[in-house]
Amino acid sequence: MTGKCVWFEGIPFPSLGYSPELLREVQESFLVKDEDVLLLTFPKSGTNWLIETVCLIYSKGDPKWVQSEPIWDRSPWVETKHGYELLKEKEGPRLISSHLPIQLFPKSFFKSKAKMIYLIRNPRDVLVSGYFFWRSAKFVKRPQSLEQYFEWFVEGNVVFGSWFDHARGWMSMRDKENFLILSYEEMKWDMRSTVEKICQFLGKKLEPEELNSVLKNSSFQAMKENSMSNYSLLKGQYFEENGQLLRKGVTGDWRNYFTVAQAETFDKLFQEKMADLPQDLFLWK
Ligand code: PPS
């Protein structure tokens, strides 16, 4: 993928809201505080679902916050111009989102006690989700076909770089006590237990009816209808009218799109790149 993107340290970034100077400043100078909570993902892994869930946990299931403030202001993306400016001004404990690979993340985090949740998703579904999403976006080079995007993805030639490098990099933190790995798949299969796990990690306690409200208001349908979370406010400037963040919200959709040859190529690559990691990290298998 070349053309419509910004390059930094060999990795392509979207062309709107990112610059090499800012990415350098974020890495060198952004101050992560011990009380911050960081939500980290490779794009299209369910980032916004995780943000919505954590916001609802913070508000004890009350949907007022998630229905009144855009999701990118509740938990700003630190690497974007908008998010960085907002975060610098924010007082108190902050929710911070990011898609950055580990080597470009603010250095101050690694000396802090801030908690981080890394959300991982079957990269095959990440690929398919990304293909449909970027096709309608105005700030990246658009793929012309799934076949083309498949090639870009396996070469690591997509925004935020190689999924494999991203996952490997962040998973090296997995034994740290301020680091929690979650998967999109476990959120789909047992969201109640996942919310309980997040609460335990963040030291939050929810009453049963509050937990029910978190589940209800973070559901695919609720988020799809919530204009503060479904990116409909960004249509026009950032996306075409047909663009949608909440497309299908399922696991295993790649099976509807990959050819047999693509599935085999992907399996082989996954083996090559990830075989030495504990395989129970990859719950979709
Ligand atoms: S982004 O643009 O990188 O921040 O996108 P991200 O939020 O990481 O990923 C978008 C995919 O997450 C799905 N999604 C959900 N699935 C289930 N339940 C809920 N509540 C939910 N919210 C978002 C969304 O549908 C995208 O996946 P696909 O497969 O394209 O549907």
Q: Is residue 160 part of a domain?
A: yes
The pLDDT > 90 percentage for the chain reads 87
Domain range spanning residue 203? 6-281
pLDDT tens per residue across span 162-171: 999 999 999 9
Exactly one of 44, 74, 99, 135 is catalytic; which is it?
A: 99
In this prediction, residue 285 carries a pLDDT of 66
Residue 3 in 3-state DSSP?
A: coil
Burial readout 196-208 (b: 16 or more C-beta within 10 A, e: otherwise)? ebbbebeeeebee
Q: Quick check: is 216 in a domain? A: yes
> Considering the domain boundaries, does residue 1 fall inside one?
no
Active site residue 166: no
Q: Determine the distance separating the centroid of ligand 1 and the alpha carbon of 48, expressed in angstroms.
A: 6
In the numeric block, which tokens belong to residue 205?
């306690």
* 211-227 mean pLDDT: 97
Whether the CB of 213 sits within 6 Å of ligand 1 = no
For residue 204, tell me if it sits in a domain: yes
Kindly indicate the confidence band of residue 1, based on its pLDDT and cuts at 50, 70 and 90.
Answer: low
Q: Which of 1, 71, 10 is nearest to 222 (CA)?
A: 71
Residues 6+ apart with CB under 8 A from 16: 138, 139, 238
Q: Is the pLDDT of residue 2 over 50?
A: no
Output the CA–CA distances (angstroms, integers) from residue 278 to 118, 143, 166, 222, 227, in the order listed.
16, 33, 16, 35, 39
Q: What is the largest CA-CA distance in the chain?
A: 52
- The domain that holds 248 is classified in CATH as 3.40.50.300
Task: Please tell me if the CB atom of residue 14 comes closer than 6 angstroms to any atom of ligand 1.
Answer: no
**Total domains, the chain:** 1
Instruction: Please tell me if the CB atom of residue 154 comes closer than 6 angstroms to any atom of ligand 1.
Output: no
**pLDDT higher than 50, residue 81:** yes
Domain membership of residue 46 (yes or no) is yes
Collapsing DSSP states into helix, strand and coil, what is residue 99?
coil
